[in-house]
Chains A and B, each alone.
Chain A
Amino acid sequence: MSNAIETRGLVYRAGKSFEIRDLALNVPAGSMYGFLGPNGAGKTTTIRLLLGLLRPVSGAITVLDRRIPREAPRVLQRTGYVPESPHLYSTLTVAEAIAFHHAFYPGWDQGWADELLAMFGLVRDRRLARLSKGEMGKLMMLLALAQRPELLVLDEPTDGLDPVVRRDVLSALLEYVAQHNATVFISSHLVHELERICDWVGVMDRGRLVAELPMHSFKSGIKRIRLSDPPALPGDTPFVLLNREPAEGSVETWVVRGWQPPMAQYFEGVGASVREVVDLDLEEGFVELLRTFRVNPD
């Protein structure tokens, strides 16, 4: 499978306090890629680098088989972008904003834009400055979808939206992806939302990519294991030990990544016994990953 987005050794610095270091992203074509990270992790900066809005210090970025930032305009023609905060000209009306956007995109589908306008209940002659946050979110999604993009880059697209609006926006997105097999790169801190819709996940923290793997591996591979008589030093484990915490008596709780049931033999070999193996949901896995990364960044 080819990649819709690929970065190699990407470095970017913003002032003295923030840096994106050696970022190597691989977003498979046709995937729904969830880009997770706490506030200030560098998600928005990474997205701006991917679209050529910022220029990296070094490294290579390829989006839709074209080099960024050199070929950014060609890539942007095929990319729908919803930024983190509203960026449209607030003095325009909804109809004017649509007309303005339409003029720049050769693949614009006015029929579908009209359908989305009706579906989202947006009023054509209302000024953008008077739109609610939800209406603005819908309009930005409309603009991104009606240009019929091959790639959608969505930076916290549902942040601050109420559940009804969020559902409308996500259903329009999912319908489009189902029909056109577009790639979606979506950043969010709403972990459960991404868990539902994404098939790949990348986790970023402090300007570095902590993990990148298919969602099913992420969800099934991270476990919380309750152990009796665990070894003081784990030695060579067949899994990645993310965290260990004492429980009561000789019982400990381990959080591990890359778990497979046959690996239980390891514990027999070190004289420990497995009491319980619990699946972690994406949010718990995400938190454990970040905790481990912060203790041992390398």
Chain B
Amino acid sequence: MFKVVFLTQWKWSRTAVLAGVFAAFALPILSVQQAGVFAGPTRELPGHARRLLDTVQTWGIAYPLLALVLGVLVAVTAWAADHRGRHVYALALPVPRWHYVLLRFAAGGALLLAPLAALGVGALLASASVTLPPGLQAYPVALTVRFGLALLVAYAVIFSISAGTPRTAAIVLSAIAFLVAVEVLAAAVHAPIDPLQFLGSRVLSGPFGIFTGRWMLIDV
């Protein structure tokens, strides 16, 4: 069963996954190539370590973005075909609902291992290709693990939302609209409440926190 579910998932999301593999492999190499200007024979010149870190940090924004986009695309494609058929086919298959959901989740998750592996290989190659100034180190494994966790969070959250019916989506959107309305009203009457900021701080201090902060292949 897993094989056929995996093959359908591959068919639906292969463009995104292949683009993701290419991007994940290229990102660390490109970032190090650009930063390499400040490494190598001139690595001990004053200020070069700082500029190298700045370059790597600039490229670092792309990792969580890539994880987010890939997670969202694979999760959405996992359910798109079932949504079109109003889930009748999936529900009529002779497996418990949880089992089918697990198969779909595992199939998408397995496909996301490809860009994760590509990033790992790219990061290792990039780290090996550069001579770092004293005091700096490469963290290819840590970056790969973090990318993997970010992929998992994005994929899992969007997978669970898109598994729901349009009614579920309507409830989620209504809740957000309600918060926005409260925010606007509170601002209009200068009330000391800020539900969006409250929600944002809760979300970003939870699992979504992985998308924030510095994503550094090379750091002190």
Contacts A74-B94, A76-B94: A83 and B88 contacting too (C-beta < 8 A)? yes
B45 an interface residue at 8 Å Cβ cutoff?
Answer: no
In contact, A89 and B91 (Cβ under 8 angstroms): no
Q: State whether B11 touches A92 (Cβ < 8 A).
A: yes
Determine which of A73, A87, A103 lies in contact with B4 in the assembled complex, contact meaning CB atoms within 8 Å: A103
A87-B92 in contact given A100-B4, A103-B4 (Cβ < 8 Å) = yes
What residue of chain A has the Cβ atom nearest to residue B99's Cβ?
A73
Whether the pair B8, A100 counts as a contact (CB closer than 8 A) is yes
Known contacts being A53-B91, A90-B81, A91-B81, is A99 close to B12, with CB within 8 Å?
no
Q: Is the CB of A51 within 8 A of B12?
A: no
**A266 proximal to B (CB < 8 A):** no
0/1 per residue, B82-102, Cβ < 8 Å to A?
Answer: 001110110111111000000
For window 150-178 of chain B, which residues contact chain A by CB distance below 8 Å?
Answer: none
Interface residues of A in 69-98 (CB under 8 A from B): 73-77, 81, 83, 86-92, 96
Are B93 and A76 in contact (CB-based, < 8 A)? yes
12 contacts between A and B (CB under 8 A): A52-B91, A73-B94, A77-B94, A87-B86, A87-B92, A89-B85, A92-B8, A96-B11, A99-B4, A100-B4, A100-B8, A104-B93
Q: Which residues of chain B from 61 to 115 have any CB-CB distance to chain A below 8 Å in the complex?
A: 81, 84-86, 88-89, 91-96
Is B7 an interface residue when CB atoms closer than 8 A count as contact? yes
Least Cβ–Cβ distance between B167 and chain A, in angstroms: 12
Q: What is the CA–CA distance of A73 and B97 in the complex, to the nearest angstrom?
A: 9
- Cβ-based interface call for B188 (8 A): no
A104 and B94 in contact, given A89-B81, A96-B7 (Cβ under 8 angstroms): yes
The answer to whether the Cβ of B190 comes within 8 Å of any Cβ in the partner chain is no
Give min CB distance, B92 to chain A, whole Å.
5
The closest CB in chain B to the CB of A83 belongs to B88
B191 at the binding interface (Cβ < 8 Å): no
Residues of A within 8 A of B189 (CB): none
Contacting residues, chain B, for A267 (C-beta < 8 A): none
Q: If A99-B4, A103-B3, A103-B4 touch, does A88 touch B85 (CB 8 Å cutoff)?
A: yes
Q: A105 on the interface (CB 8 Å rule)? A: yes
Q: Given A77-B94, A99-B4, A100-B4, are A91 and B12 also a contact pair (CB < 8 Å)?
A: yes
Interface core residue of A52, A76, A89 (most chain B CB under 10 Å): A89
Cross-chain contact B8 with A104 (CB below 8 angstroms): no
Write out the residue numbers on chain B whose beta carbons fall within 8 Å of the beta carbon of A51: 92
Q: How many angstroms between the C-alpha atoms of A218 and B219 in the bound complex?
A: 84
B1-39 with Cβ < 8 A to chain A? 1, 3-5, 7-8, 11-12
Give complex CA distance A89, B89 in Å.
8
A83 touches B92 (CB 8 A): yes
Given A103-B3, A104-B1, the answer on whether A89 and B92 have CB atoms closer than 8 Å is no
Task: Point out the residues of chain A lying under 8 angstroms from B89, CB to CB.
Answer: 87-89
User: Could you say which residues of chain B place their CB within 8 Å of the CB of A89?
Assistant: 8, 81, 85, 89
Interface string of A16-55 (1 = CB under 8 A from B): 0000000000000000000000000000000000011100
Of all A-B residue pairs in the complex, the 6 with the closest CB atoms, nearest first, are: A76-B94, A77-B94, A87-B85, A87-B88, A103-B4, A87-B89
Assembled-state Cα–Cα distance A112/B88 (Å): 25
Q: Given the complex of chains A and B, what is the CA–CA distance between A53 and B85 in angstroms?
A: 13
Q: How far is the CB of B205 from chain A (nearest CB, A)?
A: 38
Q: How far is the CB of A64 from chain B (nearest CB, A)?
A: 12
User: Cβ of B92: which chain A residues have Cβ within 8 Å of it?
Assistant: 51, 53, 76, 81, 83, 87
Instruction: Name the B residues within 8 Å of A99 (CB-CB).
Output: 4, 7
A89 CA / B88 CA spacing, docked (Å): 11
Measured between alpha carbons, how far is A51 from B91 in the docked complex, in Å? 9
Q: Please report the C-alpha to C-alpha distance between residue A76 and residue B92 in the assembled complex, in whole angstroms.
A: 7
Which of B11, B84, B85, B94 has the largest count of A CB atoms less than 10 A from its CB? B94
Q: How far is the CA of A231 from the CA of B64 in the complex (A)?
A: 86
Contact in complex: A103, B94 (CB < 8 Å): no
Chain B residues positioned under 8 Å from A77 (CB to CB): 94
